[in-house]
Structure 1
Amino acid sequence: MEKNVGGFDRVWRLVGGALLVVIGAAALVGAVAIGPVLAGVMVVLGAVFFVTGVLQRCVINRLLGLDTYRGDRTETTHTDEASMERPS
């Protein structure tokens, strides 16, 4: 799968994902009172966001046709050698 996460989308996933994991983990140890189910969901979602930001690949973006990655993509073009040798 090609990279499809970049720019602000990637930064949001890295920062937001890390924050969700930290807050969810704090709730699981009792430092924040939000409930264990919500804390577990926050940890899992945060980890998914963070990993998709690091890998720059997201299945949901691919299914929706979204692409925020603007990196160096080299497109391979196949040129027929015989057509290059023909005079114009």
Structure 2
Amino acid sequence: MGMKGNIGATDKQTRIVIGLGMAVVGLATLGGLLGLGMMVGAVVTLLGLVLVGTGLARVCLLYRLFGIDTSRSH
């Protein structure tokens, strides 16, 4: 049994697209292609992966903490 989803379709798509973009930038930084620094690369990669993961799972714990629900299933 999982948690009830609180992320709607548009929110899901936005998270996945932005998350993938962030992960690519982060990995490029970690690979030395961008000069943003290793720490920035690691943080941006991690945040990107979190966005993709929450988008795919359609559950955001911060949304739940603040009572936000962008899904239409109330």
- Would the TM-score normalized by the shorter structure come out above 0.5? yes
1:11 and 2:13 are equivalent in the alignment: yes
**Deviation of 1:9 (Å):** 1.5
Query: Higher Cα Rg: structure 1 or 2?
Result: 1
Structure of higher RCO (CA pairs closer than 8 Å, 6+ residues apart): 2
Identity, in percent, stands at: 36
Q: Which 4+ stretches in 1 moved above 2 angstroms?
A: none
Map 1:48-63 onto structure 2 (within 5 A): 48-63=50-65
1:66 and 2:68 are equivalent in the alignment: yes
> 1:64 and 1:12 mapped to 2: Cα distance?
20
TM-score by length of 2: 0.90
Which is helix-richer, 1 or 2? 2
TM-score by length of 1: 0.77
Q: How many residues align?
A: 72
Instruction: Return 5+ residue gaps in structure 1 as ranges.
Output: 74-88
Task: Please report the RMSD computed on the Cα atoms of aligned residues, expressed in angstroms.
Answer: 1.2
